[in-house]
Amino acid sequence: MDLDRKIRYGMVGGGPGAFIGEVHRMAAALDGKIELVAGAFSSKPEKSRKMGRKLHLSEERVYDSYQEMAEKESELPAAERIDFVSITTPNHMHFPVAKAFIEAGIHIVCDKPMTNTIEEAEELCRLVSDHDIIFALTHNYTGYPMVKEARKMVADGKLGNLRKVVVEYPQGWLSDTNDDEIWRLDPDKAGISSAIGDIGTHAENLVEYITGQQMKELYADIHSFGEGRELEDDANMLVHYEEGLRGILYVSQISVGDENDLNIRLYGDEAALEWSQENPNYLHVKYSDGPEEIYKRGNPYLSEAAEAGNRIPPGHPEGFIEAFANIYSNVADVLAARLKGEEPDELSLDFPTVQDGARGVHFIHKAVESGKKKTWVDMKYDPPASD
Amino acid sequence: MDLDRKIRYGMVGGGPGAFIGEVHRMAAALDGKIELVAGAFSSKPEKSRKMGRKLHLSEERVYDSYQEMAEKESELPAAERIDFVSITTPNHMHFPVAKAFIEAGIHIVCDKPMTNTIEEAEELCRLVSDHDIIFALTHNYTGYPMVKEARKMVADGKLGNLRKVVVEYPQGWLSDTNDDEIWRLDPDKAGISSAIGDIGTHAENLVEYITGQQMKELYADIHSFGEGRELEDDANMLVHYEEGLRGILYVSQISVGDENDLNIRLYGDEAALEWSQENPNYLHVKYSDGPEEIYKRGNPYLSEAAEAGNRIPPGHPEGFIEAFANIYSNVADVLAARLKGEEPDELSLDFPTVQDGARGVHFIHKAVESGKKKTWVDMKYDPPASD
Amino acid sequence: MDLDRKIRYGMVGGGPGAFIGEVHRMAAALDGKIELVAGAFSSKPEKSRKMGRKLHLSEERVYDSYQEMAEKESELPAAERIDFVSITTPNHMHFPVAKAFIEAGIHIVCDKPMTNTIEEAEELCRLVSDHDIIFALTHNYTGYPMVKEARKMVADGKLGNLRKVVVEYPQGWLSDTNDDEIWRLDPDKAGISSAIGDIGTHAENLVEYITGQQMKELYADIHSFGEGRELEDDANMLVHYEEGLRGILYVSQISVGDENDLNIRLYGDEAALEWSQENPNYLHVKYSDGPEEIYKRGNPYLSEAAEAGNRIPPGHPEGFIEAFANIYSNVADVLAARLKGEEPDELSLDFPTVQDGARGVHFIHKAVESGKKKTWVDMKYDPPASD
Amino acid sequence: MDLDRKIRYGMVGGGPGAFIGEVHRMAAALDGKIELVAGAFSSKPEKSRKMGRKLHLSEERVYDSYQEMAEKESELPAAERIDFVSITTPNHMHFPVAKAFIEAGIHIVCDKPMTNTIEEAEELCRLVSDHDIIFALTHNYTGYPMVKEARKMVADGKLGNLRKVVVEYPQGWLSDTNDDEIWRLDPDKAGISSAIGDIGTHAENLVEYITGQQMKELYADIHSFGEGRELEDDANMLVHYEEGLRGILYVSQISVGDENDLNIRLYGDEAALEWSQENPNYLHVKYSDGPEEIYKRGNPYLSEAAEAGNRIPPGHPEGFIEAFANIYSNVADVLAARLKGEEPDELSLDFPTVQDGARGVHFIHKAVESGKKKTWVDMKYDPPASD
C-alpha cells in the first residue's frame, strides 16, 4: 500500500543561481512522491527568504540558518515536520549540516563529495549508524537505468572475469575562467581537491557500483593547468582493483569543448561493455565472436533493476534529471516503508550510502597524496559500518 | 514578480497504467510552478479514486466524471479552483472534455490529435476565442531547446531559401501486437487514422514550427501491414509547402526495432540542419563550403529561445519529459501573467495553440483522403482565428 | 590454379581530371590481378596520349579513338590483346563504345547508367548474349561486404517477410554550381535525367540486390531547384515491389552539406537492417524484442559472401575503392576461369550484369515519365535475357 | 614532368597468409606509380616461389633468400633492378634485411617496429645516412588525410598551447587465442614487447606527428592477462611531453570486442581535436565558445597537406589501404625526383623516417623498463641524424 501522504523535505543550500540545488528540487518533484516544505537556502537570510517565496513555501518554514532549521523542524509535530533534508551547499558545509540534522533525527540526502576530511566522513558514518538514519549520497550517475543494467550484467557473469577498465570524465568548463567566482577552486570550500573531488569521486563510485570491486592501489599524476590554481584541474590515474581488474581513471576540468563526458569501458575475458553519460539511454556490449549489441532503455528485455529506474517507453529519451530522481524516488520509498513499518523493497535500497561517501572522501585524499608524493598508494579501506 | 502561489490544475484521463497521463504529471511537476489538485482520471469512478489516492489528492477533488469535475471546480472560490485542466484521454474524448471545461471558464492543456473531426476542431477554435481561454496542445517535440534553436536559425535566414525537407517518424511498436488491446487501432476511439493521427501530426507540426511554412498540397501512400487492421499503420507522403519547400513526410508503426525515431532534415540553398528526437541535445548544421557544426543544448552561444527552454548545463542530457515540461512551464507563465494582470513574456507564448490543433486534424483528414483517393489533395487551410 | 598471367584491360574515357576513370584504375589495380595496357582516354588524341604517358603505357597501345582501339586490339595476338575494356565516358558514349568492343569480342566493364535509351540498353543485352560476352556494370555499392551480408540475411529469412524500405541518396554538390561545367546537367550527354540517372539507379539497384525483389509500380515527384536546369536535381519516389515490400526511394543533388549519403533501411516482420555508405563497415540489425546488433566487416561470424568481398581485418576500415575493386576482382576471376576453361566460382559471379543495366535504364525512363505525367507507372520489366 | 616509367620494388616477407605483406602490395599498387618485380617472400624457398607465381613475377626475380635477392638485384642493370625493397617480415628480421639492402644501395620501406634493439636502430640510422638511402617506416596511420589536417591545425596554432593528450589503442584479438600461433607473443621474433611494440609505437608516433612534441618522461603500468605470456598484452602509460603537454597513452590487445580502435583526443587552451582510426574520414574540433565542428576528408576547405593525401571526393570513404598507400606514393615521388635529379616536392617528404623508427624502438625499451622498474623513465632521445 502506498503511504497516505507525500514525503516532506527541506533543503539547505540551493539559493538563487545555484545549479545543483535546482537539480535536486526538480529530481525530488518529478515522481509526485515528495514535496518541498522548508528550507535554509542561503547563509544570507534575505536570499533564503527570497528563494522561499519563489518556491511558494510558507514563510515560517523558511529559515535564516541551517541550525535554526534543524532545531525548529525537529520540534514540529510528526504530521508536519520534514522527513528528510537535502544538503546542496558547497562541500565544506556538508558535514556540519548533516551532523545537525542527523542529531535532530532527520534523514539525509547529501551532495558529493560527502565531506572535506576523512575524519568528518567517518564521524558521519558513526552518526548515521547511531541515530538509525537513512542517508543517501547523490552519486546520481548510478541512477541511470543503463548503468543499473551494466551492474546486473557484471553480476550475472556476462563479461566473465573482469580485466580492464577505462573510466574517463573530462570537462572543459575550467579551461578558461575567472577563478575567483568558482568556489570549487577555493580550498576553504572545496577541500584539498578540485577535479578529483568534484568528478573523480563520481568516476570512482561508478566503477565500484558496476563492478562490485574495490580499489587496491592507485597512482595519480595530477596537475593544475590554470595559472595560479592551488587545486588540481586534471588528474590521470592508474588503478588496480582487488580482484585483478586494472586500468585507468582520469578526470579533467580543462578539456576544452568537453561538457560532462563521463564514459566507462569495462572488459572481461568474455565480453565488454561501454556506456556514455551524454548518451545515457544506450549500453553497448561487445564480444570477440559476435556482433556488438546495443541495449536500449525501456525495453522489456532489460533487467528488473533497469526497469525499476525507468519511467517512459524506449525512444523517449530520459536524461540527467530522471537519473537523479531515481535516488530521490528510492529514498522516498524506503522512508515510506519505514513510516508504514514495513521492509523496504530490495530495489529501493539501490542508492549510494554514507559508506560510499566515506569511500569517496578516502579516494580523494589518497589520490591527492599519490599525486603529491609520486608513489602508489594503498587504497584498501573499510569505513565504519552501519550495523 | 512571481505569482504568490503555484498554478493549480486538474487532470481528465491518466488513470492507472496510462503512459501519457503520467508524462503530463511529471512534466507539470518538474519546475515547481504547478500543482495537481483535482482529477477525473478514469471513466470508471473506482479507478479514478484509486489514482487520486495514489497521487495524494484530497478526496473531494477526485471526481467520478469529467462533467462533475467541470461543474464542481467552476463553483469553487477562485482561491481554490483549478486554473487549467489537462486532457489526456483517448482521442475521441478530447472534444467533449475540452468543451465542458472551456464553457466552465477553465484553461486547457490538451493532448493531440486535438479532436477526431474537423468540425469539432473548428468548434474548439471558436469556443477558445469566445471564452478567452488559454489553450495549449502538447506537440511536445517543439518543446526541445534544439528545435527552438532550429526555428530561430531558419527565421534568421541561416539556411537561405528553404528547398527540401525530409521528416520521418518510424516506430515499431505495432509490428507485432495484439491489436485488441490497442485503442489507437480502434476507429471509435482513435478516429479515422492510426499512424498519421498519432505521430504524423507531430511530424507535420514540427515542420511548420521550424520552417514557418504551411503545406500547399500532399500525396499520401498509406497502408495497413497488420492483418485485419482498419486504420493505416504506415504512410509515405509527398509534400509541397507554400513557399517552395518540398519533400517527404513519412510515419510508420511497423518499422520493427525503431522506437520513437522522429528525425528532420531541412535544406536551404545556403545551409542544412538535422535533428533527431532520440538524441535531442544536438543540432547539426551543414554547409557546402565549411565543416559541419554540432550545436549543443545549454551553451551560451545559443539563442534566447533555446536558452528559455533549457534547465541544466551542457553535457547533462535533458530528454523527453523536460521538453514536455516546457509546454507546461510556458502555460504556467502565461497564466501567471494573466492572474497578475500583466502581459506575458513573448517567449512564454511559445506553445502549440488550438489553431495548430485544428491544422493537425485537417492534416489527418486530408492525408487519409489522399491515401484513399490516390490523388494530390489541397492542403491550404485557415482554421477559425482567435481574435 | 591461378592464371599464369594478369588479366589485361584497356580503358575508354578517364582522361586528365576525370574522377571516375581514376577510380576504375585504382580499383582494377588493387588486387594485383589486372593490368592496364591500352587506352583511348579522351576524344582529343593529344589528351589521350598525355594520359597514356602518365600511366606508363606503351605508345602504340594509346589510341586516338575508341573505334581505332577496338579494331587494333582485336587484331593483336591473343597473348597481347586486352581481355576487357573499361568504359568510363559520359553516359551518351557508353552504348557506341560498348557495341564496338562487344563486336570485337572484347569483354566489358561499363559505368552506369548503362545507356541513355531503353532501345540501346536492350540492344546491348542482345549483343552480350550473341557474342557471349562477360559484361559488368559498376553499381559499385553492391561491392561492399556489408551489403553482401545484408543480402545474405534477407535471403536467409532473418528479416521475415519484407514490408518497408526507405532508401535515400542525397548529395549536395549541385546545390550551388556553375552548371555549364557539369556534363551531367546536359541532356545531350546525360540523357533525360540528372539525379535519377546518376544516383537513383544506384539506389534502385541496391534495393533489388539486397531484397531480390523487383519494382511493381512507382510514383515520382521530381523537381529542378537549380535555375534554368532542364534535368531534375531532386526526386522523391513512392515505390511498390512485387512481393509486398513498399516504401520510399529518394535522391537529391541539392541537399547542401550532404556528400554521398546513400542509406538503406529495410524492415521485415521479424527484423530490420540499416546500412550507410559513408560508414560502410557496419551493418545494423534491429529486432522488436532484443538489443540492436552491429555486424562489422572482416569478422569470422559473417557469411561467405561478405568474407569473399573482404581484404583486411576488422577495425581496419575499407572504403569506396575497395568495394569498387570487388567488381573488378570478380570480373577478373570469371575471365580467368574462362581462359582456363573452368567454371567460375559461384561467388565470383556476384557483380551487376547487362540486364541490371537495362533495368536501371528502364527505371530512369519510367521514373521521369511518372514525374512528368504525375501518375503511377508500371515498373514490371524483363530485359532481353542472356540464355 | 613525370618519370617515364613506374618505380620498381621487391618485397621481403609477405608470403602466403601474411596479412601485412598483402596490405603493402595493395598500397603500393593503388596509384599506378609502382610495380612489384621481385621478392623473397618466405624463408622457405618453395613458399617464396609459390607466392611469386601467384603474383605473376618472372621466375628469375623470385629469390630463395633475402641475401640472394640483395646481391642479385644490385648486380642487375639500372634499367631493371628494383628501386626499393619493402620489408614485411616479423620484427627480428627487419634489421638484417634492411642492412643487406642498404649496403646494396637499395632504398627501403620497412614495417614497424623498426628493429628489436636500440643498437640496431641506431646502426640503421647511420647506414641510411652513410649510403644516402631513402628510408620510410610504415607508421601508416599518419597517412590518413585527416591526421595530416590535424597536424596542420596544431602547427597553425588553432588549438593554442597544447595541454592534454589522450591516445588509446585497444584491440581485442589476443583476449582469447592460441598463443603458439602468434609470433608477436614470441620474444625471439617480437622482441621485448608485444602490445607496446606492435601498436604502442603507432600511438607514440601519432602524437609526435600531430603535435610536433617529443616525450620528456613516461610511467608505464604493464601487464599480461593471457596465461603464461612472457610479453605484455596491456599497458597504461602516463606521459609528459617536452613543451608542457601531458596525458595518457594506453594500448591493449585483450580489450575484447575492440578491433583496431586507435583514437586521439588533443586539447589546447583554445580548442581540442578528436580523431578515430575506425572512422577516419572525419576530424572533430571542439571549442569552449562555439559549436563543435566536423571536418570531412576531400573538401576544398582542408589544407594542402590533407588534399595531397586524398584520392576521391567527400562522402566516398577512404580507408586503411589508402592511408597506407600515401606512404608508398610519397616514397615513389621522392624516388622519382631523385631519379630525375630534381628536388622532391615538400609534401612528398611527409612519411616516417629512420629516425622516427629509432624513436619508436627507444620508446618500446623505455616503456618496458618503466613497467618493470615501476619508475618514471627519461624519454629524451636523439637518434643519430641524417645530416
Q: How far apart are CA D127 and CA C262, in angstroms?
A: 51
Q: In DSSP terms, which residues pair with C85 in a beta bridge?
A: C10, C108
Q: How far apart are CA A151 and CA C161, in angstroms?
A: 37
Nearest CB partner across the interface for A164, out of D234, D238, D247: D234
- Residue C384 is predicted with a pLDDT of 95
Q: What is the DSSP letter of D18?
A: -
pLDDT in tens, B187-213: 999 899 999 999 999 999 999 999 999
Cβ proximity of B306 and B283 under 8 Å: no
- Residue B256 is predicted with a pLDDT of 98
Interface test with D, best of C56, C59, C276 (most D CBs within 10 A): C56
Strand, helix or coil for residue A276? strand
Residues of A in contact with D252 (CB under 8 A): 164, 267
pLDDT in tens, A86-98: 999 999 999 999 9
Contact flag B260-A321 (C-beta cutoff 8 Å) = no
* Contact with chain D for residue A241, Cβ under 8 A: no
| CA dihedral for A303, A305, A306, A307, sign (positive or negative) | positive
Nearest CA in chain A to C291: A295
What is the crossing angle of helices B145-155 and B201-211, to 10°? 50
Residues of A in contact with D221 (CB under 8 A): 219, 238, 246
Residues of B in contact with D296 (CB under 8 A): 291-292
Residue closest to A58 by CA, chosen among A71, A43, A44, A76: A76
β-pairing verdict for B135-137 and B246-252 = unpaired
Q: How far apart are CA D104 and CA C352, in angstroms?
A: 49
CB proximity under 8 Å: B 144-163 to A: none
Contact flag C246-B236 (C-beta cutoff 8 Å) = yes
Average pLDDT over residues A14-29: 94
Residue D184 Rama label (left phi>0; alpha psi -120 to 50; beta): alpha
User: What's the pLDDT band for C241 if we cut at 50, 70, 90?
Assistant: very high
Residues of C in contact with A299 (CB under 8 A): 291
Mean pLDDT for chain A overall: 96
User: What's the pLDDT band for D351 if we cut at 50, 70, 90?
Assistant: very high
Average pLDDT over residues D198-218: 98
b/e burial code for range A65-88 (CB count within 10 A of at least 16 → b): bbeebbebbeeeeeeebbbbbbbb
C34, three cell numbers: 589486372
What whole-number percentage of chain A has pLDDT above 90?
A: 94
Cβ proximity of C110 and C11 under 8 Å: no
Cβ proximity of C114 and C357 under 8 Å: yes
Residue closest to C239 by CA, chosen among C123, C377, C110, C372: C377
Q: How far apart are CA A206 and CA A241, in angstroms?
A: 13
Strands (E), chain D: 7-13, 34-40, 84-88, 107-110, 135-137, 162-170, 215-223, 234-241, 246-252, 263-268, 271-276, 282-287, 292-296, 377-378
Q: How far apart are CA D109 and CA D95, in angstroms?
A: 12
B7-141+325-352 belongs to which homologous superfamily? NAD(P)-binding Rossmann-like Domain (3.40.50.720)
Subunits next to D (3 or more Cβ pairs <8 Å) are A, B, C
| CA dihedral for C66, C72, C78, C79, sign (positive or negative) | negative
Average pLDDT over residues D255-274: 98
- Residue D178 is predicted with a pLDDT of 78
Q: How far apart are CA B30 and CA B326, in angstroms?
A: 9
A207, three cell numbers: 566503477
pLDDT in tens, C318-358: 999 999 999 999 999 999 999 999 999 999 999 999 999 99
- D337 — phi, psi (to 5°)? -60, -45
Is CATH 3.30.360.10 the classification given to domain D145-306+357-378? yes
Residues of D in contact with B295 (CB under 8 A): 291
Asked if the model's pLDDT at residue D342 lies above 70, the reply is yes
Task: Name the helix (H) or strand (E) containing A93.
Answer: none
Residues of B in contact with D292 (CB under 8 A): 293-294, 296
- Residue B386 is predicted with a pLDDT of 62
Residue closest to C210 by CA, chosen among C116, C124, C274: C274
- Residue D233 is predicted with a pLDDT of 97
Q: How far apart are CA D382 and CA D40, in angstroms?
A: 33
Average pLDDT over residues A214-235: 96
Nearest CA in chain B to A37: B32
Residue closest to B128 by CA, chosen among B116, B147, B117, B114: B114
* Contact with chain B for residue C234, Cβ under 8 A: yes
Cβ proximity of B258 and B171 under 8 Å: yes
Residues of chain B short of pLDDT 50, as ranges, are: none
Asked if the model's pLDDT at residue D1 lies above 70, the reply is no
Residue closest to A96 by CA, chosen among A62, A123, A64: A123
* Contact with chain B for residue D227, Cβ under 8 A: no
Contact flag B236-C254 (C-beta cutoff 8 Å) = no
Contact flag B265-C271 (C-beta cutoff 8 Å) = no
Mean pLDDT check: name the lowest of A339-353, B52-66, C80-94, D173-187: D173-187
Q: What is the DSSP letter of A229?
A: -
Residues of D in contact with C53 (CB under 8 A): 2, 4
**Model confidence, pTM:** 0.97
Interface test with A, best of D176, D229, D236, D293 (most A CBs within 10 A): D236
Residues of A in contact with B277 (CB under 8 A): 315, 317
Contact flag A269-D223 (C-beta cutoff 8 Å) = no
Calculate how close chain C gets to B272, using CA atoms only, in Å.
6
Question: How many other CB atoms are there within 10 angstroms of residue C15's CB atom?
Answer: 22
Nearest CA in chain D to A255: D267
Asked if the model's pLDDT at residue D93 lies above 70, the reply is yes
Contact flag D294-B294 (C-beta cutoff 8 Å) = yes
Cβ proximity of C101 and C127 under 8 Å: no
Distances (CA, A) of D297 to A261, D67, D282, D312, D315: 26, 42, 6, 9, 8
Which residues have CB under 8 Å from D372's CB, separation 6+?
A: D222
Cβ proximity of D92 and D116 under 8 Å: yes
Alpha helices in D255-385 (DSSP H): 304-308, 320-340, 354-373
Contact flag C301-A295 (C-beta cutoff 8 Å) = no
* Contact with chain C for residue B290, Cβ under 8 A: no
B211, three cell numbers: 520552417
Residues of C in contact with D315 (CB under 8 A): 171, 258-261, 277-278
Contact flag C259-D314 (C-beta cutoff 8 Å) = yes
Calculate how close chain D gets to B138, using CA atoms only, in Å.
30
All structural domains of chain A with their residue ranges: 7-141+325-352, 145-306+357-378
Nearest CB partner across the interface for B272, out of C219, C257, C269: C257
Q: How far apart are CA A111 and CA A137, in angstroms?
A: 6
Contact flag C286-B221 (C-beta cutoff 8 Å) = no
Amino acid at A370: S
Question: How many other CB atoms are there within 10 angstroms of residue A227's CB atom?
Answer: 6
Subunits next to A (3 or more Cβ pairs <8 Å) are B, C, D
* Contact with chain D for residue A246, Cβ under 8 A: yes
Q: How far apart are CA A195 and CA A176, in angstroms?
A: 15
Contact flag B301-D290 (C-beta cutoff 8 Å) = yes
Contact flag B315-A259 (C-beta cutoff 8 Å) = yes
Nearest CB partner across the interface for B256, out of C248, C257, C271: C271
Calculate how close chain C gets to B301, using CA atoms only, in Å.
22
Nearest CA in chain D to B295: D291
Residues of C in contact with B374 (CB under 8 A): 376
* Contact with chain B for residue A280, Cβ under 8 A: yes
Mean pLDDT for chain D overall: 96
Cβ proximity of C126 and C343 under 8 Å: no
Average pLDDT over residues C262-291: 98
* Contact with chain B for residue A301, Cβ under 8 A: no
Residue closest to C185 by CA, chosen among C177, C194, C176: C194
Calculate how close chain D gets to C382, using CA atoms only, in Å.
32
Amino acid at A330: N
* Contact with chain D for residue C17, Cβ under 8 A: no
Distances (CA, A) of A355 to A118, A126, C373: 11, 10, 75
Amino acid at B17: G
Q: How far apart are CA D68 and CA D58, in angstroms?
A: 16
Contact flag C301-A291 (C-beta cutoff 8 Å) = yes
pLDDT in tens, D135-165: 999 999 999 999 999 999 999 999 999 999 9
Average pLDDT over residues C210-239: 97
Calculate how close chain A gets to C306, using CA atoms only, in Å.
14
Number of cross-chain residue pairs from A and D with Cβ atoms under 8 Å apart = 121
User: What's the pLDDT band for D180 if we cut at 50, 70, 90?
Assistant: confident
Number of H helices, E strands in chain A: 12, 14
Residues of D in contact with C23 (CB under 8 A): 312
Q: How far apart are CA A41 and CA A13, in angstroms?
A: 4
User: How big is chain C by its Cα radius of gyration, in Å?
Assistant: 21
Amino acid at C237: M
CA angle B359, B363, B367 (to 5 degrees): 175
Cβ proximity of C159 and C270 under 8 Å: yes
Contact flag A260-B313 (C-beta cutoff 8 Å) = yes
C212, three cell numbers: 531480390
CA angle B377, B378, B382 (to 5 degrees): 140
Cβ proximity of D73 and D81 under 8 Å: yes
Mean pLDDT for chain C overall: 96
Q: How far apart are CA C343 and CA C349, in angstroms?
A: 10
Q: In DSSP terms, which residues pair with D135 in a beta bridge?
A: D108
**CA dihedral of A181, A185, A191, A196, whole degrees rounded to 10:** 130
Nearest CB partner across the interface for D225, out of A163, A272, A292: A163
Residue closest to B239 by CA, chosen among B200, B286, B199: B200
Q: How far apart are CA D45 and CA D48, in angstroms?
A: 5
C115, three cell numbers: 545507356
Measured in whole angstroms, the distance separating CA A212 from the mean position of its chain's CA atoms is: 17
Contact flag C294-A289 (C-beta cutoff 8 Å) = no
Calculate how close chain A gets to D292, using CA atoms only, in Å.
8
Nearest CB partner across the interface for B322, out of A171, A298, A321: A321
pLDDT in tens, A282-303: 999 999 999 999 999 999 999 9
One DSSP character per residue, C30-79 reads: TTSSEEEEEEE--SSHHHHHHHHHHTT--GGGB-SSHHHHHHHHHHS-TT
Q: How far apart are CA D254 and CA D185, in angstroms?
A: 13
Question: How many other CB atoms are there within 10 angstroms of residue D297's CB atom?
Answer: 29
- Residue A387 is predicted with a pLDDT of 55
Average pLDDT over residues D67-90: 96
Contact flag B176-C246 (C-beta cutoff 8 Å) = no
